[in-house]
Amino acid sequence: MRYRLLGKSGLRVSEWCLGTMTFGEDWGWGANAAECREMFEIFASRGGNFIDTANFYTGGNSERIIGNLIRQERERYVLATKFSLGMRDGDPNAGGNHRKNIIRSLEDSLKRLQTDYIDLYWLHAWDFTTPIEEIMRTLDDLVAQGKILYVGISDTPAWIVSQANTLATLRGWTPFVALQIEYSLVERTAERDLLPMAKAFELAVTPWSPLGGGILTGKYNDTVPEEGVRLKADNRRFSERNLTITREVSAVAQEIGCEASQVALAWIRSKGLVFIPIIGARSGKQLASNIDAENVNLTPEQITRLEAVSAIERGFPHDFLDSESVRKYLLAGTEGLLDGGRR
pLDDT in tens, 158-214: 999 999 999 999 999 999 999 999 999 999 999 999 999 999 999 999 999 999 999
Report yes or no on 300 lying in a domain. yes
Report yes or no on 341 lying in a domain. no
The residues annotated with a catalytic role in the active site are 57
Report yes or no on 265 lying in a domain. yes
For residue 204, the cross-strand partners are 178
Q: At residue 265, does pLDDT exceed 90?
A: yes
Torsion of CA 183, 96, 92, 111, to 10 degrees: 100
Q: At residue 342, does pLDDT exceed 80?
A: no
What is the secondary structure of 15-83 as a DSSP string? SSEEE-TTBSSTTSSSB-HHHHHHHHHHHHHTT--EEE--TTGGGGHHHHHHHHHHGGGGGGSEEEEEE
Report yes or no on 336 lying in a domain. no
Q: What mean pLDDT do residues 78-92 have?
A: 95
Q: What mean pLDDT do residues 81-85 have?
A: 98
d(CA 59, CA 87): 7
Report yes or no on 281 lying in a domain. yes
Q: 222 falls in which pLDDT band (50, 70, 90)? A: low
pLDDT of residue 234: 55
Quick one: angle between helices 260-269 and 240-256, nearest 10?
90
CATH of the domain at 49: 3.20.20.100
Q: Is the pTM of this model over 0.85?
A: yes
pLDDT of residue 60: 96
Report yes or no on 191 lying in a domain. yes
pLDDT of residue 81: 98
Q: 237 falls in which pLDDT band (50, 70, 90)? A: confident
pLDDT of residue 230: 42
**Full residue range of the structural domain in which residue 237 is found:** 3-312
Which of the residue ranges 116-130, 152-166, 205-219 would you say has the lowest mean pLDDT?
205-219
Report yes or no on 280 lying in a domain. yes
Instruction: Name the domain count of the chain.
Output: 1
Report yes or no on 326 lying in a domain. no
The strand pair at 12-14 and 3-5 is best described as antiparallel
